[in-house]
Amino acid sequence: MTRTDSRSPAARSSSPSSHSLWWFGLPAGVLLLLWGAPLLALLLRGAAPSVFAYLQDPMVQHALRLSLLTSGATAALAVLCGTPLAYALARWDFPGRRAVEALIDLTLVLPPAVAGIALLMAFGRRGLFGPTLGIVGISLPFTVAAVVMAQLFVAAPFFVRAARLAFESIGPQMEEAAAILGASPWQQFRFIMLPAARRGLLAGLALCWTRALSEFGATILFAGNMPGRTQTMPLAIYLGLERNLDVALALSVILLGVSAILLFALRRFEREPMLA
């Protein structure tokens, strides 16, 4: 997932000896069991034909469509705004750089519930910017825009981090060579850096998109829960649990499937030869 350079596959060489299998395999197995067993249990109990019935449910369709739409918008905005930010952090020294890095680190580790309350304090109707936005007739809480903002807050740092590592892993020689050959800074970025960092960028995009898809805490606090308007899949799952477990199980299986498809699609794209 966080493979950001093209060397790592070659670094994986020999198969492990039986000795190291114990020392490395056993602790690693604990984690794999922790991740694998619940997902398996979820599928065993939830993957029933009823999943297809729930897919026909208008509420589920609304939630799924809203989730794909908002997480797609989040991913697009993260790439659009995050790529220049990551490039700047990887290449240039500028005043306040450390503060920007700290800000990104902070948003990465912040609990989403804190993000949700912080967003309310800033953009809520009585928040820091709420009254100003109100003059222009904009009220953000309980809207689709609020869902995207919550996702962007929580998920975009994943893209920026991966993109920055990707740009940093490219030596400056390539750009220097291009500069000597007369390439403008834009051409260096477009034709040297972007293609070379492509894998890392796509890996970051996959992380960011799927993280946005699973966003819950910031969304329910900042955007509320309104079926058809702000109720994304994770919210529908949480509230589905209150109606009956079967609904929550079916929706969980659906979201798991969508996340898996998205992840595999982006990984596949990541491996394809460069197009640029």
Partner 1 sequence: MRRTNLIVLLVVAGAAALLAGCATAQAPTQVAPLSPTTAVPTAAPLPTVEGTPSLAPGDLSVFAASSLTDAFGEIGKAFEQAHPGTTVTFNFAGSQTLRTQIQEGAAADVFASANTTEMKALVDSGNVPTAGAHNFAGNRLVVITAPGNSAGINDLEDLASPGAKIVLAAEEVPVGKYARQALQNLNAEFGPTFADQVLANVVSMEDNVRQVVAKVTLGEADAGIVYTTDAAADPTLGTIAIEDPYNVLATYPLAVLEAAPRADLAQAFVDLVLSPDGQAILAKYGFLPPAS
Tokens of 31: 């984690």
Minimum CB separation of residue 220 from partner 1 in Å reads 7
Toward partner 1, which CB reaches closer, 100 or 179?
Answer: 100
* H-helix segments, the chain: 8-11, 18-46, 50-55, 58-91, 97-109, 112-123, 130-135, 144-168, 172-180, 185-187, 194-196, 198-213, 217-222, 233-243, 245-271
Query: Could you tell me which residues come within 8 angstroms of residue 212 by beta carbon, excluding any fewer than 6 positions away?
Result: 70, 71, 74, 75, 78, 151, 152, 154, 155
Tokens of 49: 């034909």
Instruction: Identify the three-state secondary structure at position 216.
Output: coil
Q: What does the alpha-carbon distance between residue 24 and residue 28 come to, in Å, rounded to a whole number?
A: 6
Minimum CB separation of residue 239 from partner 1 in Å reads 6
Minimum CB separation of residue 58 from partner 1 in Å reads 15
Toward partner 1, which CB reaches closer, 19 or 243?
Answer: 243
Toward partner 1, which CB reaches closer, 97 or 190?
Answer: 97
Toward partner 1, which CB reaches closer, 228 or 257?
Answer: 228
Q: Which residues bind partner 1 (CB under 8 A)?
A: 98-99, 101-103, 105-106, 120, 124-126, 141-142, 220, 224-227, 230, 238-239, 241-245
Minimum CB separation of residue 167 from partner 1 in Å reads 17
Toward partner 1, which CB reaches closer, 141 or 200?
Answer: 141
Toward partner 1, which CB reaches closer, 51 or 119?
Answer: 119
Minimum CB separation of residue 272 from partner 1 in Å reads 35
Minimum CB separation of residue 117 from partner 1 in Å reads 9
Report the length, in residues, of the chain.
276
Using only C-alpha atoms, what is the Rg of the chain? 22
Query: Could you tell me which residues come within 8 angstroms of residue 34 by beta carbon, excluding any fewer than 6 positions away?
Result: none
